[in-house]
Amino acid sequence: MPSRIRAWVSSVRRSIRSIDEAQAAMRMLLGSWSVRRRKRHEPLATLVRRFAGQASGTSGLVPARVIDLAWLVCRASRGGGHGNCLERSLVLFRGLGEAGVRPELWFGVRAGDPRSGHVWVMLDGVPAGDDPAMLGDYVPLMVFGADGALTSGSDAVAPPSISWARTSEVKRLAG
């Protein structure tokens, strides 16, 4: 096992405080693997609905611990770094839902680059583990409610508008 992964596994073991947390972490790990497999052939809305409101073993945990565990597990499952945002967010979204709160799943793209997307979870208007300064680089496009339904799209990406060239410019172009 590479030393980096060994270090993360060791970190997960140190961070888990009870049997309940160990079980929840295991369910989260399985969930993140499931997302990794399914995201290649399932549309986003189907994935979100699949995860919304499902049992994740976190019903006895407080939301702050669910957030810590989801970040920890998803980092470990990827061998370090920040993990994958979709895997982490769906696992966290499901875990928080079962812990009795109503999270929202946000989807955005980096301003000016629609190919660079990011998914994150918001709880009571606050990012669940994501750095708010980093999220400032993203334009929110969609929000899914705790039941997995699309609650709102965004007007943040305004369509290009048209303006008319002055007559002199048109003449110069024609000339």
Partner 1 sequence: MAWPGVAVYGFDSTGQVTAYPERGAAPRDVQRVFLRAVLPAVHQRLGWQALHASAALTSRGVLLFAASSGHGKSTLAYACRHSGLTQWADDSVVIGLTSSGAVTLALPFDFSLRPETTRFFHPERGAGVQLLGRIERASPATAPVAGICLLHRFDDDGQVRITRVEPAVAFERLLPHACTFSMAELDERRRTLEEYLDLCTRVPVWDLRYPAGLHRLAGVVGTLVHHVETQPAGAV
Q: Give the footprint of partner 1 on this chain (CB under 8 A).
A: 30-31, 34, 39-47, 49-51, 54, 85-86, 107, 109, 112-119, 141-142, 149-150, 152-155, 157, 159-165, 169-170, 173-174
Minimum Å distance from CB 40 to partner 1? 6
Rg of the chain over Cα atoms, rounded to whole angstroms, equals 20
Minimum Å distance from CB 30 to partner 1? 8
CB 67 within 8 A of CB 35: no
Alpha carbons 86 and 78: distance in angstroms, whole number: 12
Q: Which of 2, 112 has the CB closer to partner 1?
A: 112
Show contacts of 120-124: CB within 8 Å, 24+ apart: 120/85, 120/89, 121/89, 121/92, 121/93, 121/96, 123/63, 123/67, 123/96
Q: Cα dihedral sign for 77, 81, 83, 88?
A: positive
Q: Which of 3, 164 has the CB closer to partner 1?
A: 164
Minimum Å distance from CB 10 to partner 1? 27
Q: Which of 27, 65 has the CB closer to partner 1?
A: 27
Minimum Å distance from CB 43 to partner 1? 5
